[in-house]
Amino acid sequence: DVKVTQSSRYLVKRTGEKVFLECVQDMDHENMFWYRQDPGLGLRLIYFSYDVKMKEKGDIPEGYSVSREKKERFSLILESASTNQTSMYLCASSSPPRGFYGYTFGSGTRLTVV
Amino acid sequence: AQSVTQLGSHVSVSEGALVLLRCNYSSSVPPYLFWYVQYPNQGLQLLLKYTTGATLVKGINGFEAEFKKSETSFHLTKPSAHMSDAAEYFCAVKGGGGGSNYKLTFGKGTLLTVNP
């Protein structure tokens, strides 16, 4: 089975810190995604990448950046963490272009900014 | 552009009762449709998907969904609820605008509560 691993389940950071959320997938998927999930708002797409070094903004990219230097790793960066970035962050990857069978999600990182 | 509407942010059923979670979609192309489940403090897990072919799709844990093109719906059902079904459920449609064609657009989710 495809595995998507997020480096931390729970994270507490201080306002103004630079925060790195790491995501690694092990099945050679082309596409990777970062979402944040908040009660009542569902999943909102922050950034996605469909190839190494390629990235595109999602619906709410402000305050975030991403890095994809290797195919298997997609990092989300909070340049200067703020309390309104307290949320559940979900990474996902999707199957190669020859077929699309939905996403595989990681277990999520619950980030608290204090 | 694709969009998903899940009717009812919270559904409560008794154990053993029918589960019906509603999903309507909008898509400019033949849709690929998905249901995901999320247990507390976990990521999302694929329940079932419709891509092409048979419109009644069976998934894990006894869930099924029927694609109805005329109603633009993809409702999720389970004949008999179990306590372990308590979770949040998300409907999604493939596509969502620019960039990769392999994005999913999600509904806002429906929290299912199962009462003993």
Say whether A42 and B46 touch across the interface (CB within 8 A). Answer: no
Please give the full DSSP string across B69-107, using - where no structure is assigned: GGGTEEEEEESS--GGG-EEEEEEEE--SSS-TT-EEE-
- Identify the closest residue of chain B to A32 by CA–CA distance: B103
What does the pLDDT look like over B1-15, one tens digit per residue?
A: 788 999 999 999 999
Q: Phi, psi (5° rounding) for residue B9?
A: -80, -15
What does the pLDDT look like over A73-108, one tens digit per residue?
A: 999 999 999 999 999 999 999 876 555 678 889 999
What does the pLDDT look like over B97-112, one tens digit per residue?
A: 554 567 888 999 999 9
Chain B closest-CA separation from residue A79 CA (Å): 24
The span from the CA of B66 to the CA of B51, in Å, is 12
The span from the CA of B20 to the CA of B11, in Å, is 9
**Which among B43, B101, B108 has the least Cβ separation from residue A90?**
B43
